[in-house]
Amino acid sequence: MRVWLSQDAAARALGADAVAAALRREAAARGVALDLVRTGSHGMVWLEPLLEIAGPHGRMAFGPMTPADVPALFERPAAHPRALGPTQSLDWMARQTRLTFARCGINDPLDLSAYEAAGGLAGLRKALAMPPAEVVRAVTESGLRGRGGAGFPAGIKWKTAAGAAAAQKYVVCNADEGDSGTFADRMLIEGDPFCLIEGMAIAGHAIGATRGYVYLRSEYPDAIGILTRALAVARSEGVLGPQVLGRGAAFDIELRIGAGAYVCGEETSLLNSIEGLRPVVRAKPPLPAIEGLFGRPTVVNNVITLASVPVILDRGADFYRDFGIGRSRGTIPLQLAGNVRRGGLFEAAFGLTLAEIVDDLAGGTASGRPVKAVQVGGPLGAYFPRALFDTPFGYEEYAGRDGLIGHAGIVVFDDSVDMLAQARFAMEFCAIESCGKCTPCRVGAVRGVETIDRIARGDAAARSLLAELCDTMKYGSLCALGGFTPYPVMSALAHFPQDFDRAREAAE
Amino acid sequence: MPSTSVVNGARIRAIIAEHAGREGPLLPILLAIQEEWGHLPREALPVVAEALNLTRAEVFGVASFYHDLREAPPGRHVLRLCRAEACQAVGAAALAEAAQARLGIGWGETTADGAVTLEPVFCLGLCACGPAALVDGRPVGRLDALGLDALLAEVR
């Protein structure tokens, strides 16, 4: 009997390993030959541990599984209390446009032949047959923008690095996914690591780089283990090495592990970290595309940006660009998190409204209480009230409402949340994680905590002071950490002023 | 694990040699030393500085920056609780208070019996199944006070 069972960290966190052990025990006791394939996750975290067996209409899903649910699987699976039906027909799966995550959750992430059979390496093969400038043009025409949060057009960055003359260039993958509410990078690396490797190899060909680095955070031990092994497989099978796929130039990737610093997700801090310097932020210019790692031309892209490149090369720039709205082209892996009934990853074309995402996809709160606020885009993203739930998911659409989509993490809070406490936390987090190089961030965040504490004590004058402080941080900080911390703070103040009044009333 | 009181210079130099061929070897070296000793012994830093032709200040500047790099050995088990927003939305703050009360320690501290070190972490990427924790590197989701008691009983 063949069984597919997720080994994604979220599935393991919810007991997948115990289910695997129960499967082995039960199969042995019944004398059934068990072929257990540990896969990545389909992204339906509320159904994890999710298990699949072959059925007449494709794989049949069961979840959330516990060890106690395992014996019945060997009896009449169709009548199993955890039976969900064919995986691909589940509402959550059927409604997605899975381009970047097309293979995630399906196969053993280290099975390169399964990767190829599912369409993997087709993009790289096509890219290697094209002149590098054509590859850059395809990425530019696809409209792909930086999925790490900055939203900078990937093709322009690539073109800049491609045009810079240097003996050594680099492709650096930013896998320092520190934003709360985001786990797309982790899920992709744990579920389909060859997709990232393929995207980086394409980038190497496009810009003329022979070396790549993946900077992966230490908080993701499972992803570290899988990517380490995937790189070894890619090397031994000739996807990486002196001649990519036997026809390209040399390209190899080294994995670097972070050491717990949120600011290292900022690209220049990340480069300093790889170089072995104290990872403070660098002033720009020079742009990393011209003077990046070790002062050489470097493309720094997020995991999802790079992992979206293979499908663009395989299916064409037009195919990708035809999804989306406005200047937000293609698809985005939405990550539904926090207090949600259905949490997980949902890849869709840009354009879904926040109401569709929160009320429909996520099904409201897990607690059953009304949604009060939704933080979009990580700890530097704005808190949106229900009044803004008509905002379509897109870079400009969120910027136009004083928010940001960031890395597409969506964290839902119910009505028990205290928005003054959330604003305070944003400042506290910035103070803890500031690299200390620029004053608005280093000092501003500490003063921000103090100022919010004054508001909490009923000091009404502190409110305008907070607004001024946020202005200084926004316009005076060197990077997005100090520059964007005002988003959660000011959105909390603007949209939930009653939470900042309550303390004063108590004081009076 | 080697003795934490005596830092073996030869072993440190061997670790340095393993990474010497890499570009930017400093952080991988510091992580490898911590992996071996459980923390970054202060005496190791000058050895690293000399081998890489850096000043002690440069090495200290890197070593002191990162949350992961510890100056003192941790307990036998490390419990990392997520403090970030997605976990806050499902009760992480109350869970953290419960953990501190049960262990009788604050963030970054180790219980007197040396069994458990409690560390904050800002996001484990388990944001759809919080509150999340990492227990000796093993991910745990939807952790509540009961689950916490079971975990602590397991490791103590």
Instruction: Give residue A57's pLDDT.
Output: 83
The CA-based diameter of chain B, rounded to the nearest angstrom, is 52
Please state the three-class secondary structure of A242-280 as a single string. CCHHHCCCCEEEEEEECCCCHHHHCHHHHHHHHHCCCCC
Q: Once rounded to an integer, what is the mean pLDDT over residues A482-497?
A: 98
Q: How far is B109 from chain A (nearest CA, A)?
A: 17
Q: What is the ipTM of this complex?
A: 0.96
Contacts of A383 in chain B (CB under 8 A): none
Q: Once rounded to an integer, what is the mean pLDDT over residues A375-395?
A: 98
Instruction: Give residue A265's pLDDT.
Output: 97
Among A324, A332, A326, smallest CA distance to A305 is for A332
Neighbours of A459 (CB within 10 A): 15
pLDDT category at B4 given cuts 50, 70, 90 is very low
Across the interface, whether the CB atoms of B89 and A182 are under 8 A apart is answered no
pLDDT category at B8 given cuts 50, 70, 90 is confident
Q: Which residue of B has its CA nearest to A375?
A: B85
- The helix (run of H) or strand (run of E) holding residue A439 is helix A439-456
pLDDT > 90? residue A170: yes
Neighbours of B35 (CB within 10 A): 10
Sign of CA pseudo-dihedral A81, A86, A90, A92 = positive
Q: How far apart, in whole angstroms, are the C-alpha atoms of residue A208 and residue A162?
A: 6
pLDDT in tens, B88-132: 999 999 999 999 999 999 999 999 999 999 999 999 999 999 999
Q: How far apart, in whole angstroms, are the C-alpha atoms of residue A198 and residue A210?
A: 14
Report whether CATH 3.40.30.10 matches the domain B77-155: yes
Instruction: Give residues with Cβ within 8 angstroms of A53, minimum separation 6.
Output: A1, A2, A3, A4, A59, A60, A62, A73, A77
Q: What are phi and psi of A38, to 5 degrees?
A: -90, 125
Q: In residues, how long is chain A? A: 508
pLDDT > 80? residue A65: yes
List the beta bridge partners of residue B77: B116
Across the interface, whether the CB atoms of A10 and B85 are under 8 A apart is answered no
Among B24, B66, B136, smallest CA distance to A271 is for B24
* Cα-based distances in Å from A470 to A280, A475, A486: 21, 9, 5
pLDDT > 90? residue A395: yes
pLDDT category at A506 given cuts 50, 70, 90 is low
Contacts of B32 in chain A (CB under 8 A): none
Burial A265-304 (b: 16+ CB within 10 A, else e): bbbbbbbbbbbbbbbbbbeeeebbbbbbbeebbbbbbbbb
| Helix, strand, or coil (residue B86) | helix
pLDDT > 60? residue A479: yes
Question: Is A487 within 8 Å of A403 (Cβ atoms)?
Answer: yes
Among A450, A148, A59, A365, smallest CA distance to B86 is for A365
pLDDT category at A25 given cuts 50, 70, 90 is very high
* Cα-based distances in Å from A275 to A61, A266, A463, B15: 46, 14, 42, 18
Testing the interface with A: which of B19, B55, B60, B126 to mutate, by most A Cβ within 10 A? B126
* Cα-based distances in Å from A140 to A309, A310, A311, A323, A428: 11, 14, 14, 15, 39
Instruction: Give residue A460's pLDDT.
Output: 86
Question: Is B144 within 8 Å of B98 (Cβ atoms)?
Answer: no
Q: Once rounded to an integer, what is the mean pLDDT over residues A394-400?
A: 98
Q: Once rounded to an integer, what is the mean pLDDT over residues B47-52?
A: 96
DSSP string, A196-235: HHHHHHHHHHHHT--EEEEEE-TT-HHHHHHHHHHHHHHH
pLDDT in tens, A290-313: 999 999 999 999 999 999 999 999
Across the interface, whether the CB atoms of A294 and B24 are under 8 A apart is answered yes
Half-sphere exposure in the Cβ direction for A4 (13 Å, CA)? 21
pLDDT in tens, A91-134: 999 999 999 999 999 999 999 999 999 999 999 999 999 999 99
Q: How far apart, in whole angstroms, are the C-alpha atoms of residue A115 and residue A228?
A: 17
Q: Once rounded to an integer, what is the mean pLDDT over residues A389-404?
A: 98
Question: Is A26 within 8 Å of A58 (Cβ atoms)?
Answer: no
Q: Once rounded to an integer, what is the mean pLDDT over residues A348-372?
A: 98
| Helix, strand, or coil (residue A57) | coil
Give me the torsion for CA of B54, B59, B62, B63, rounded to 10°.
160
Q: Which residue of A has its CA nearest to B55?
A: A277
Contacts of A177 in chain B (CB under 8 A): 123, 125
